[in-house]
Amino acid sequence: MTVESANSGIAIKDLVVQRGGRTVIDGLSLSVAPGEVYALLGGNGAGKSTTLFAILGLTPRGGGKIDIANVDPAQNPNTVRERVAYLPETVALYEHLSAMENIRYFLNLAGQPRPRTEIEAALNDVRLDPSAWSRKLGSYSKGMRQKTAIALAILRSAPILLLDEPTSGLDPVASSDLNGLVTVLRQRGVATLMVTHDLFGAAAVADRIGLLDKGRIRQEWRAGTSSERFNVHELHSAFAGAGT
């Protein structure tokens, strides 16, 4: 399944967001092209989640421009949310429903019903064990919930994927599986923005990494072609020095 909107992505220019009389985002500019994975690194309070909320039109901006799949979220938030798959740190799915039932429900709610064969294919893609497909989510681990949410994102064929601390609380195997899924979505033309404080996870999957500090990009790196795509020691030093 490929993404239909080939000429879509994320473009943020001079974004300003103020909350509680404090400037949280101060002139942020970044872009994510179709088929690109951008990791936004930053510590607690750096403004990572606020950036995602502004993209979704959930937080008003005090200045700057945001273009999401060719739409301004301030003017057409519902249209933006139709074109974005958002995976929060804590996935909000129904505990009393199975993975299959959750996916069917949310696809129907979005007006995008899919046949059972496509849902099963997506669950296979995310490596969720078939024995769990009909179990209630109340028995799932966090990694299994993440896989269910990613399967839903795949089925929605959204051109943009937003990930908020996607590896938080996951074991190494589940984190590796998640990175593999992000790679698959990149190949399908999805523009992926992940916000995280996990620099090792970012280095494993991102095409570009930006360090968010005091509401703006302090430094940016592009993946190299060698086996060590990023200099992790350099990333760590920059991350440790942020906020000083």
pLDDT confidence tier of residue 211, bands split at 50, 70 and 90? very high
Prediction pTM value: 0.87
Secondary structure class of 211 (helix, strand, coil): strand
**Superfamily of chain region 1-34+43-81+197-244:** P-loop containing nucleotide triphosphate hydrolases (3.40.50.300)
Asked if pLDDT for residue 6 goes beyond 50, the answer is no
Proportion of the chain above pLDDT 70, given as a percent: 96
Asked if pLDDT for residue 3 goes beyond 70, the answer is no
For residues 8 and 155, what is the distance between their CA atoms, to the nearest angstrom? 18
pLDDT tens-digit map of 130-141? 999 999 999 998
Sign of CA dihedral 214, 163, 85, 135: negative
For residues 128 and 137, what is the distance between their CA atoms, to the nearest angstrom? 12
Q: Tally Cβ neighbours within 10 Å of residue 125.
A: 18
Asked if pLDDT for residue 215 goes beyond 80, the answer is yes
Instruction: Give the CA angle between residues 172, 141, 178 to the nearest 5°.
Output: 40
Quote the pLDDT of residue 1.
40
Contact 22, 53 (CB under 8 A): no
Quote the pLDDT of residue 52.
93
Asked if pLDDT for residue 2 goes beyond 80, the answer is no
